[in-house]
Structure 1
């Protein structure tokens, strides 16, 4: 098997791993929604919800571990995946989402739910009706919880900056010897042994950084759910997964609108992720 066939095979495995993860995301969304609905009718039953939250976090770690195994053979695909839309790739940080974005989701949910409940309260004051308290639990985060989340946020941003600086140095190294000299000295750029070694070393470094970023993502997720109640953690995870799945679908739809079905089909492989209507729309 030549190197190009081997690289294609590895990318297919990486793509399959991603599609499995997206299908699992869709399953998690259904399970979290059902668990939250059931919890409303039985407020004392937090055990099942806590167990589900643990499963969701563990599944994310398993996905990161599997991805890390595949990145040992070829890592660059994860930094601009062909199975993603350009919208998704434009939002990537070290092959995934920024860990600090988890906390921004919390702040957004907090603000949105508080505003909704306040609006409901004002609207129903004159009608003497009870305000709907099931609109969301994230607005009930205590001052102590918010302080802990803010502390996590600050530390995560510091760690993100360190990883980003390491990556910036790696990008600068591409213009260093022997790559730059080889490219300059030859009209027909051939990949010699020295260049191959340099590129292999660069890709290996990318894999190390992605693993470091994945570790930070998992650590951040675990710290957040530890601070929250099981109900709050489930709401947070549900919101995060909906955002991820939605961005994948929005990107696919935008690609279809701009470039036609051929390109959209290439990024619509997450079967079971979108609605049935959206899946049918990928067919020309």
Structure 2
């Protein structure tokens, strides 16, 4: 009983750690929006640089705390109970793929280039003056070359981590786990199996730590290549995406469960058709 209570306590600490991080994400979004709104030139770059540095440091602290909580078992981080099915389906080693950070930059470049073109045409056609400001689409050829080179290196490192994870997964079907599962009719306290599973958990925890390091290093190297205002825009876009996916997943699950509950209620009443509510889902 004590073991169960201990496990529950650890799980609650992990969940609390995640929601603290999400709360901090929301604060970061507000801070970044305010800083970008009040940015009036290179004289404000220092303030933006400090904010970007603080945000990177906050991510590093979160990864370190998460690593401490995953020492005994990291399985809950690979498919977290606090995430929606949508989010868990997008996870790579307990988080987002580091290469996706670069894809966010590419998306911003494309989107903002279209916006600038539309604004430019609006200026010509209607003589409307728009404050263009600094956009991610202002990346220089040198910056883009460095980011593309980083992208290739990150993908290569991701593949190495993925291969290590695949090897660990294959080991589950190896001795002694597979043989013990075949030989036993009931699950018991087999010490050999317990040790093998503990070793597997330790291996996965180490890989998740390696993935978190790659995530942080990718962010750090991206920020080194781009300007402070571009870094602020990039971090704002990434954090909005993270928070939005969490919310979209929650809303989709509430809708799906609402449909399921409505259909179950109809079946319980002996109905042959779908309820009005479920028919709209």
Gaps of 5+ in 1: 264-284
Gaps of 5+ in 2: 262-281
What is the CA distance between 1:46 and its match in structure 2? 1.2
1:187-266 equivalent positions in 2, closer than 5 A: 187-260=185-258
Q: Which range is displaced more, 184-193 or 203-212?
A: 184-193
Distance between the aligned counterparts of 2:48 and 2:21, measured in 1? 21
What is the CA distance between 1:137 and its match in structure 2? 1.2
1:16-95 equivalent positions in 2, closer than 5 A: 16-40=16-40, 42-95=41-94
Aligned length in residues: 260
In the alignment, what sits opposite 2:149?
151
8 Å contact from structure 1 (residues 7, 74) kept in 2: no
Distance between the aligned counterparts of 1:258 and 1:37, measured in 2? 38
In the alignment, what sits opposite 2:12?
12
8 Å contact from structure 1 (residues 14, 67) kept in 2: yes
Q: Which range is displaced more, 5-14 or 31-40?
A: 5-14
Distance between the aligned counterparts of 1:169 and 1:85, measured in 2? 27
Q: Tell me if 1:181 matches 2:179.
A: yes
What is the CA distance between 1:32 and its match in structure 2? 0.3
Deviations 1:4-32 (A, max 9, x none): 22221111110000000000000000000
8 Å contact from structure 2 (residues 71, 205) kept in 1: yes
Q: Which runs of 4+ in 1 moved over 6 A?
A: none
Instruction: Please give the secondary structure, in 2, of the residue aligned with 1:35.
Output: helix
What is the CA distance between 1:127 and its match in structure 2? 1.8
In the alignment, what sits opposite 1:2?
2
Deviations 1:127-167 (A, max 9, x none): 22334413x51010000000000111000000000000000
Root-mean-square deviation over aligned CA pairs: 1.5
What is the CA distance between 1:126 and its match in structure 2? 2.0
The structure number with the bigger radius of gyration is: 2
Q: 2:160 aligns with which of 162, 168, 179?
A: 162
Distance between the aligned counterparts of 1:181 and 1:128, measured in 2? 77
